[in-house]
Amino acid sequence: MKPQIKEIIVVEGRDDITAVKAAVDAEIVAVNGFSVGKNIEKVKAAYERKGIVVLTDPDFAGLKIRDYIQKRFPKAKHAYINRAEGTKNGDIGVENASPEAIIKALEKARCELGEIREVFKPEILFEYKLTGHSDSKNLREKLGKKLGIGYSNGKQLLSKLNRYDISMEEFIKAMEEIRADENEK
């Protein structure tokens, strides 16, 4: 039996709807890519009725669409699949993700806080080698996947850690798990 999602999932296109329906039992709204402005009333109705979870492609266009929706619907939840999970034959998109990857992303969906906290500082990212080191990009990718917040450059990661309700304990635990996984290899 497929997991049920109470919120309405917002995706980019028809193929994304098919992939998400294969993974979960949920109501889904497509914004048709950059035509999101033309479809904003559908998203607004969903947001007001049940709440929404934004699940866009892990590429530049997906990020722009996500930002557009976030500005208008600040209590929206965000679910992320990573590039590796969403890539098939050079094509990047939610439609390429496995049902398991989609379920995992939706389970980790997060809502942005109304205010930006200052729990995380640039020094912490440097201390954990998430910035300023040769392997920083790889570590940020792993951390984004583990926390369910998607890939980010250093500046974006700092912002996400403070915007999403991520505790220092959750951050440290995720980094310890990443280090343990690396040591097993």
CATH number reported for the structural domain that contains residue 48 in this entry: 3.40.1360.10
Domain count, the chain: 2
Domain of residue 50: give its range.
1-112
Same domain, 72 and 2: yes
Same domain, 90 and 127: no
What's residue 116's pLDDT? 67
Is 158's pLDDT higher than 90?
Answer: yes
Same domain, 132 and 85: no
Q: Which of 57, 90, 112 is the last residue of a domain?
A: 112
Same domain, 75 and 124: no
Structure tokens at 63: 């990020």
Mean pLDDT, to the nearest integer, of 27-45?
88
What's residue 33's pLDDT? 81
Same domain, 120 and 178: yes
What's residue 1's pLDDT? 85
What's residue 21's pLDDT? 96
What's residue 111's pLDDT? 82
Same domain, 100 and 179: no
The one-letter amino acid at 126: F
What's residue 31's pLDDT? 93
Same domain, 139 and 74: no
Same domain, 17 and 85: yes
